[in-house]
Amino acid sequence: MKKNNKNASQTQALLPVVLIAASVGILVSGAFVQGSVWPLAFGSAALLLCALAIHEMSKKRQLVLQAEIEALSSTVNELSKTDTEKVELIQLADTWVPTLNSQLSTANSQMEMGIVNLAEAFSEIHSKLNDTVNVAAGAAHVLGNTSGGGNGLADHVAQSLNGMLSSIRNSFDEKATIMQEVKGFISSTEELAKMAASVENLAARTNLLALNAAIEAARAGEDGRGFSIVADEVRKLSMLSAETGVKIRERVQLIASAAKKAGDGAARMESSDEKVLSQASETLSGVVEQFEQVTVPLHQASEQIIANTNQVSSSLNNAVVHFQFQDRVSQILGHVQDSLSQMKGQLNTGLETLNVAALMHELERKYTMAEERVNHSGKGSTNAATKPDASSDELTFF
């Protein structure tokens, strides 16, 4: 097929030459046939052949021109494409890169704002939890000894009530001692009554003696007058002594009667005191038991609150570690933004100044994290490169 096309092309190229040669031949032949119609015929044929030759030549020229136009058109298209690329690069630098930067910046600031708000909320929760722990710990301390696991408040109340009971018992014991004293006093009043009776007896006898003395003084006449006065005075004194003895006896009887009543009352109370103490002790045990029924669950609830709150607090602490990812993401985005800005600067000064190696070098220089370097080298697996360290645990003291 190709061979046929080649032959046809060669034939096509030789055709005008053959046609011109033929027309010349016809004209020359016509010159030899003078004086007839043949020269006209030969001339016409030659002209026709020439026309055909010119037509072929024009056609060939047209094909050449068409090829040139196509080549020119292609060149123009190429040139136009380069210009388009330039325009696109300028647009890339002026619009696409800044737009990307803006989007990154917005995403970064929105993420930071979100994390800041979350951190604030967590901080508030953390603070409230601490308050709760303090309150619960205070309540647990009051309700019971958390370290010993005892029921502190109930024990304290029981101790107080037992102390009170003990005070009452002591008071009763003191009362019993006083009653013994009163009994001793009652027996003393009996002796006092006897002594009062002796005084009365002595007074009666003294009175009788004074009366006899007065009689004897009267018998003595004038000589016994002085003695009669003395006897009279003695009699008066004996009468006074007798009256005093009566008064003492009456008072002693009153006191003895009161003391006896008190002693009888105390004796009655003594038996009831034991009953009172026994009942009080039982009541107290009941109260303490009921109190424990209330305070023990409260104490356990307080300890549960403390345990749960500590657990939540621990979870919050873990969350704190994860909040730090925002700082890392922000740094990575910042480095990407800086690199984009650097590329924009290079593109603005022309495509020929675009230096990818310099961009990569500058980007690498700014890295602060291991995962950035792993990503840059392209050696890390996707997981290793995208997964930040949970916590580096790296702390160096100088």
Residues found near another protein in the complex (CB under 8 A): 112, 115-116, 119-120, 122-123, 126-127, 130, 317, 320-328, 330-331, 368-370, 388-398
Residue 370: which residues within 8 A CB-CB, separation 6 or more? 389
C-beta closer to another protein: residue 17 or 320: 320
Residue 238: which residues within 8 A CB-CB, separation 6 or more? 203, 204, 205, 206, 207, 209, 210
Q: How far is the CB of 296 from another protein (least distance, A)?
A: 31
C-beta closer to another protein: residue 117 or 278: 117
Instruction: Tell the burial category of 84 from Cβ atoms under 10 Å away from its Cβ (0-12, 13-18, 19+).
Output: exposed
DSSP string over 228-272: HHHHHHHHHHHHHHHHHHHHHHHHHHHHHHHHHHHHHHHHHHHHH
C-beta closer to another protein: residue 352 or 393: 393
C-beta closer to another protein: residue 57 or 329: 329
Q: How far is the CB of 396 from another protein (least distance, A)?
A: 4
What kind and span of H or E run contains 27?
helix 2-32
Q: How far is the CB of 327 from another protein (least distance, A)?
A: 4
CA distance 233 to 213: 11
Contact 172, 273 (CB under 8 A): yes
C-beta closer to another protein: residue 48 or 370: 370
Q: How far is the CB of 343 from another protein (least distance, A)?
A: 21
DSSP 148: T
CA distance 3 to 237: 192
C-beta closer to another protein: residue 162 or 324: 324
DSSP 93: I
Residues in the chain: 398
Q: How far is the CB of 89 from another protein (least distance, A)?
A: 30
Q: How far is the CB of 385 from another protein (least distance, A)?
A: 15
C-beta closer to another protein: residue 103 or 109: 109
Q: How far is the CB of 121 from another protein (least distance, A)?
A: 10
Q: How far is the CB of 277 from another protein (least distance, A)?
A: 52
C-beta closer to another protein: residue 352 or 394: 394
C-beta closer to another protein: residue 232 or 362: 362
C-beta closer to another protein: residue 275 or 365: 365
> What backbone phi and psi angles, to 5 degrees, belong to 324?
-70, -10
User: 38 is written with which tokens?
Assistant: 């043949």
Coil vs helix vs strand at 303? helix
Q: How far is the CB of 391 from another protein (least distance, A)?
A: 5
| Helical pair 325-348 and 356-366, crossing angle rounded to 10 deg | 150
Q: How far is the CB of 337 from another protein (least distance, A)?
A: 13
b/e for 206-237, b at 16 or more Cβ within 10 A?
A: bbeebeebbeebeeeeeebeeebeebeebbee
Give the chain's largest Cα–Cα span.
Answer: 254
Residue 131: which residues within 8 A CB-CB, separation 6 or more? none
| Amino acid in position 233 | E
